[in-house]
A = this chain, B = another copy of it.
Amino acid sequence: MMYYPPSIRDLIKNITRLPGIGEKTAERLALHILHAPREQAQALAQSIMALKDNIRRCKRCFGLSDTEVCRICSNPKRDGARLCVVELPADMISIEKSGAFFGVYHILDGALSPMDGVGPDDIRIRELVRRVAAEKIEEVVVATNTSVEGEATATYIYQRLKDTGVKVTRIASGIPMGGDLKYVDQLTIKRALDSRHAI
């Protein structure tokens, strides 16, 4: 890297900071950018800054958005009566990719974790309770992770909402599809057995 002029060295250094990119790959990418058309390099540089400038949180669901209200919240075809609660924006993307949910979302931005000092006021529980009171919501689908923190958060949300008349559901946990029983951990197997249902 020290054999390159400073401009190439700087770019290699900045690319190496990205996760999973070693110096060899960074060198290859920098040399590609060097020889690529100016427009392509410019488009890349501009989209990096546009991302930092434009992405904000949707003021309704707190998902990632370019606009004040995100595309899902402002889509009249989405079922506003079904509200899916997730920990992070990335979880919302995963559920969208499944194509199995047509309602709207609420991003908590975390999960309850007393050990780490994360209480109900540190995640967007208050905003959730407010939405349930203000919007015509029939069902709250709690899709927090199946970790200790995610489960605790789901239980807490149920406690907070149980007197509102809104149905609170939890996504099922069990053996992953295509999962091989001998590789699945015992807690998951126990949960799958406890939740067994008639075929």
Contact = CB atoms under 8 A, between A and B. Distances in A.
20 contacts: A3-B93, A5-B65, A7-B51, A7-B66, A8-B51, A8-B64, A10-B47, A10-B51, A11-B48, A11-B50, A14-B43, A14-B44, A19-B28, A21-B29, A31-B90, A33-B51, A34-B51, A42-B52, A44-B45, A48-B48
A55 B8 CA distance: 8
Contacts of A52: 33-34, 38, 41-42
A14 B51 contact: no
Q: How large is the interface on A (under 10, 10 to 19, 20 to 34, 35 or more residues)?
A: 35 or more
A46 interface: yes
Contacts of A41: 48-49, 51-52
Contacts of A48: 11, 33, 41, 44-45, 48
Contacts of A47: 7, 10-11, 13-14
A86 to B, nearest CB: 13
B28 A20 contact: yes
How many copies of this chain sit in the oligomeric assembly? 2
A31 B97 CA distance: 16
Interface in A23-81: 25, 28-34, 38, 40-52, 54-55, 64-67, 70-71
A18 to B, nearest CB: 5
A178 interface: no
A4 interface: yes
A6 interface: yes
A54 B3 contact: no
Please name the 7 residue pairs, one residue from A and one from B, whose CB atoms are nearest each other, closest first: A45-B45, A45-B48, A11-B47, A3-B96, A7-B54, A5-B66, A14-B44
